[in-house]
Chains A and B, each alone.
Chain A
Amino acid sequence: MKEYLELYWAFFRIGGLTFGGGLSMLPMLKYELVEKKKWVSEEQLLDCYAVGQCTPGIIAVNTATYVGYLKKGLAGAIWGTAGMISPSILLITTLCLFLNNFMDNVWVQHALMGIKGVVCALMLNTVISLAKKSLVSPLCVVIGIAATILAMFTDVPTVLIVVVAAIVGIIYEKIKGGAKHE
């Protein structure tokens, strides 16, 4: 039991102290899991990250599940994940209860109009860096543009777009692989 609580608490700290999730969480994970607790090696942590990025779900949660599983099996995976999600649930729930009475205030409205400008800038940066990382070939550019157009102007379900993209990738690999073998 003590080990489960230790897993829970370690991931609680990681979830509660890192802003932004995803890649920005790597230094904190490294400090807690590799250097302090010595639960996993640095290579294992990077493996977790790679797996976390190629599996659905939130990367931070995937990493907590993976490390928890390596340590203590299924129960460890559940405890680690619970630790990771607890701070968000506590903090955001508290914030929401407090915010709802607060959103209609004139000052808050002014502040929000300013904040929206920054949200636009942050999101634009996210898209640009994602595009740089993912649009690495003509095929990728075509898929990226097609997905944008479909999502903007049609009612095609988002899930379907992702699934079709995966199938295209697998077919492409098959054709490429076939051509190589002939």
Chain B
Amino acid sequence: MNNLIWLLFYEFFKIGLFAVGGGPATIPYLMDLAEKYDWFTMEDVTNMIAISESTPGPLGLNMATYVGVDALGVFGGAWASIALTIPSIIVIVLVAKFLNNFSQNRWVKAAFYTIRPAVAGLIAAAVYNVFVVSLFVEQAGEKVLAIKTCILFVIVFALMKVKKLGKLHPVVWLIGAALVGIIFQF
């Protein structure tokens, strides 16, 4: 038990230290955790994304709380969130104290010029995993395409390209999809 507490702290501290670019950048790291430990599954990560999109607060933080509660109960939620934020406090205080114009620094800019596409690539790979767990269902031990979910995905993606609809809050789409799922027995 004691080990689990420190392991959780260590893993979320690491995410806080290396997830550059905010919320979505935490998703690839969470998928790593899902593979490495039995705290939660890939499918849980997908559910977490839906919950985070429909509740206030930053995505990364909501994910940390969710995973923490799943792994360690009520205490774990606060614990994982704190672990995630400690690197921020250390780094930001150092930057504010010692580096003027940090974001204008030549080398910082150079590093971020290539970090950004790498993070985009990592998130793309994470999204591929989200697709696999979302659009397929297990039937008699085999992965079968969940046709209704796929159709809904294509329709919603197309509708989001319509200018006015694209501005709708994600929670509107999520509630709508939940209703469609219930009505059409997905």
Contacts and interface: CB of A to CB of B under 8 A. Distances in A.
A41 interface: no
Nearest to A130: B120
Interface in A85-133: 85, 87-89, 91-93, 95-97, 99, 107, 110-127, 130-131, 133
Interface of B: 14, 16-24, 26, 28-29, 32, 46-47, 49-51, 53-62, 65-66, 69-70, 74, 77-78, 81-82, 84-85, 87-89, 91-93, 95-96, 102-103, 106-128, 130-131, 134-135, 137, 146, 148-153, 156-157, 160, 169-171, 173-174, 176-182, 184-186
A5 interface: no
Given A51-B95, A58-B19, A173-B106, A113 B149 contact: yes
A117 B150 contact: yes
Contact of B117 (A58, A66, A116, A165): A165
Contacts of A177: 106
A151 to B, nearest CB: 4
Contact of B181 (A95, A112, A131): A112
B149 A116 contact: yes
Contacts of A62: 88, 91-92
B51 to A, nearest CB: 7
B22 A58 contact: yes
B95 A144 contact: no
Interface SS majority for chain A: helix
Contacts of A69: 92-93, 96
A22 B23 contact: yes
Given A22-B23, A51-B92, A96 B149 contact: no
B74 A93 contact: yes
A38 to B, nearest CB: 19
Nearest to A176: B110
A79 to B, nearest CB: 11
Contacts of A20: 23, 53, 58-59, 170
A92 B177 contact: no
A19 B53 contact: yes
Given A19-B53, A126-B123, A127-B123, A55 B88 contact: yes
A159 B114 contact: no
Nearest to B150: A117
Given A21-B22, A57-B16, A148-B125, A117 B58 contact: no
Contacts of B74: 93, 97
Given A65-B88, A144-B118, 7 more contacts: A54-B20, A57-B88, A61-B85, A131-B124, A140-B117, A148-B122, A173-B107
Contacts of B95: 51, 55
A33 interface: no
A45 interface: no
Given A85-B61, A124-B127, A141-B117, A116 B81 contact: no
A143 B121 contact: yes
Contact of B114 (A17, A89, A139): A139
A119 B130 contact: yes
Contacts of B128: 152
23 contacts: A19-B170, A58-B59, A65-B89, A81-B89, A92-B51, A110-B182, A111-B182, A114-B152, A118-B176, A120-B131, A120-B153, A121-B153, A121-B157, A130-B120, A135-B120, A141-B117, A144-B118, A158-B18, A158-B32, A162-B118, A170-B107, A173-B107, A177-B106
